[in-house]
Amino acid sequence: MKGWDAPCYAHFKLPPTIVVEQGIVKYRFYCLVHPDRYVTRARHDDATSNLRRHAFKECPSLNEHQKSGQLTVAEFARGSTYSSARLRLKHVQWFAVNHRPMNLTKDDAYQDILRMFHAGVEIMSNQTATRDILDVFKITQAIVKKKLQNIPTRKHLALDGWSSPNVMSILGIILTYVEDGQVKTLTLDAVRYV
């Protein structure tokens, strides 16, 4: 039964029953839902096309939705790593690290895309996104602080002042230090309203 991990096998009672038809040893796979139905194949044959046809196209337990090849909600959820918290964290990364505007969560086409992947998706407001970014900032701040305290070598600071296209003054802080024989840099961007 090595390699029998294709999803179609889950539809049948395992191990299969061994039968001999015209001198050929065969496996007979009985359907778990309709035990009067079965699919037979030669023991040396590893092809799953007949098993898949029964499990995903012809079994009477399937509804029309499934026979048309669309995924059920349960199947869909199993194939998705979505959780409300994970999406919120990904949005924080998108907005704060990749510099995307938070208004994107209001975009109806984007909302449709999210619902396409998970029908029950929770789409957060801009206010939630702002709070999440602040929360992640506070958590990260403590970690960065600890990281800086634990660097045993000298630390060199470089300052980089610049203006963003919306005339916001930004102060970038670049920290250089040596760790494990390698020169490393840590870039911290701080916004200053001047």
Q: In angstroms, what is the minimal distance from the CB of 55 to Zn ion?
A: 6
Residue with Cβ nearer Zn ion (52 or 118): 52
Residue with Cβ nearer Zn ion (31 or 96): 31
Amino acid in position 96: A
Question: How many C-beta atoms lie closer than 10 Å to residue 104's C-beta?
Answer: 15
Strand order in the sheet with 169-179: 156-163, 169-179, 182-191
Amino acid in position 150: N
Residue with Cβ nearer Zn ion (59 or 102): 59
Quote the CA–CA distance of 171 and 139 in Å, as a whole number: 21
Residue with Cβ nearer Zn ion (37 or 118): 37
Q: In angstroms, what is the minimal distance from the CB of 56 to Zn ion?
A: 10
Q: Cβ(175)–Cβ(159) under 8 Å?
A: no
Residue with Cβ nearer Zn ion (59 or 129): 59
Q: In angstroms, what is the minimal distance from the CB of 58 to Zn ion?
A: 8
Q: Please tell me whether the peptide bond between 7 and the residue prior to it is cis, using omega within 30 degrees of 0.
A: no
Amino acid in position 133: I
Q: In angstroms, what is the minimal distance from the CB of 50 to Zn ion?
A: 12
Q: Read off the tokens for 14.
A: 């395992």
Q: In angstroms, what is the minimal distance from the CB of 37 to Zn ion?
A: 6
Residue with Cβ nearer Zn ion (66 or 130): 66
40 phi and psi angles, rounded to 5 deg: -115, 140
Residues binding Zn ion (CB under 5 A): 31, 33, 59
Q: In angstroms, what is the minimal distance from the CB of 61 to Zn ion?
A: 5
Burial class (CB in 10 A: 0-12, 13-18, 19+), 123: middle
